[in-house]
Amino acid sequence: MLIRRPPKISPLEITPEASYVTRRRWLKQAGIVSAGLTLPMTPTYAGLQPDDDITPERIATTYNNFYEFGTGKDDPAEHAHNLTTDPWTVTVSGEAKKTGQFAFEDIVKGLTPQERIYRFRCVEAWSMVVPWEGIELSKILAQFEPNGNAKYVEFKTLVRPSEMPEQRSVFSTIDWPYVEGLRMDEAYHPLSLMVTGMYGKPLPNQNGAPWRLMVPWKYGFKSVKSIVSIRFMQQAPRNTWNRLAPNEYGFYANVNPSVSHPRWSQASERRLPSSLFNPNRRPTLPFNGYADEVAGLYAGMDLAKFY
Ligand code: MTE
C-alpha cells in the first residue's frame, strides 16, 4: 500500500499559511491552471506513522545541508538567497533518445505537481516530516526516452562559484559539482519525487530551488539539490559522499537501523524539533518506514555490503 492517511494530522496543520496565491502562480507556470480554474491539491501521506507530526516550516528551511553555501546548518538560509534560479537550464545526456539543453519550465510544463508528506532522514541522525510538492521523477525522466542501456541516472548540482561561496573556498574538500545517482528502477519508483515546492510554496533556494530530488527511503544526502544535469548511464555514477569517504557512504544509502555508520549508530533518530530536555529520539525504521513499498527493489541483496 502506497497511501496511508493517519487520522492525527489535519490538513490545516499541513498548509499553515493560505498558499492559494503562490500555488496558483505555480500551477499556472506548470500549465495546469487556465482562465479562472484551479485544481485542489490533495496531499498524499505516504509511509507516515501515527505519531509523525509535520515539522515546523521554520526548521525545515533554516536547518539545512547545502555545502555549496557553507558547512554550517544555518549557512544555506543565510547565503542561498543570492542564487539566481531563473533562467535555469538543464543538460540531459547519455543513454536516451532526447538529449540536449532544456529550459526548466519546458521540462515541468504540463506535469501535475502533487503534495506528498514524506519523512526525511539525514545520515547525521536527525529527521523531519515535510510536505513536499513535486512531480513524480519517472514522469520527468520518461520525457527523454531513456534507452535499454540506461541502468542508472546521475544528477549534478550547479557549479557557480560567484554565487556559491563554498565553491570558492580553498579549504573545501568537495570536488564540485555535487553528484548523486539512482538505479533506474529506484528512479522510476512512484515514491521518488522531483521536488519543486514545500509547505505550499515554491521551493526556497536553501532547500534546492528550482528543483531537487526526494527519495524518502534513503538518507538525505541522496536528495541532490538545484539540479542542472541529468545523465542516463550504464554504470553507477560515483556519488559525492562515496568519493569523499567510501567506507562511510555507499551508493545505495537506504535507511537501515541495523547498519551503523562507522562513527555512529543509525538505530535511532532525533526528530526535529529536539532539544537537550526533549531530545525527541525515536527508533529508526527500515527503509525509513517505506519498507512495504520498496524492500522488493533490493530482494536478494546483502544490504550490509550494498550500504
Ligand atoms: N545537494 C547539494 N547540491 N549539496 C549538498 O550539500 N546536501 C545533502 C542533500 N542535498 C547537499 C545536497 C544532504 S547531506 C542532506 S541531509 C539534504 O540535502 C538536506 O536537505 P534539506 O536541507 O532540504 O533538509
- Give mean pLDDT in consecutive 10-residue pieces for the chain, a chain of 307 residues: 44 40 48 48 83 96 98 98 97 98 97 95 97 97 98 98 97 96 98 97 98 98 98 98 96 97 96 95 97 97 94
**CB of 221 closer than 6 angstroms to any ligand 1 atom:** yes
**pLDDT on residue 6:** 43
**pLDDT on residue 27:** 52
**pLDDT on residue 45:** 84
Residue nearest to atom 11 of ligand 1 (CA): 66
**CB of 167 closer than 6 angstroms to any ligand 1 atom:** no
**pLDDT on residue 12:** 38
Domains and their CATH numbers in the chain: 11-298 (3.90.420.10)
pTM of the model: 0.89
Q: How far is the CA of 67 from the centre of ligand 1 (A)?
A: 7
> How far apart, in whole angstroms, are the C-alpha atoms of residue 66 and residue 207?
8
How far is CA 25 from each of CA 19, 30, 112, 131, 200, rounded to the nearest angstrom? Answer: 10, 9, 13, 18, 11
pLDDT digits (tens, 9 = 90+) for 45-70: 888 999 999 999 999 999 999 999 99
Residue nearest to atom 16 of ligand 1 (CA): 220
Q: How far is the CA of 163 from the centre of ligand 1 (A)?
A: 17
Q: Which three cell numbers stand for residue 150?
A: 540506461
**pLDDT on residue 39:** 53
**pLDDT on residue 28:** 52
**CB of 249 closer than 6 angstroms to any ligand 1 atom:** no
**pLDDT on residue 46:** 83
**pLDDT on residue 31:** 53
Strand duo 281-283 + 268-271: pairing: antiparallel
> How far apart, in whole angstroms, are the C-alpha atoms of residue 46 and residue 56?
18
Query: What residue type is assigned to position 7 of the chain?
Result: P
**pLDDT on residue 44:** 83
Strand duo 201-202 + 193-198: pairing: antiparallel
Evaluate whether 216 touches 253 at the Cβ level (below 8 Å).
no
What are the contacts of 206-209 at 24+ separation with CB within 8 A? Answer: 206/61, 206/62, 206/64, 206/66, 206/69, 206/76, 206/77, 206/80, 207/60, 207/61, 207/64, 207/66, 207/76, 208/66, 209/80, 209/83, 209/85
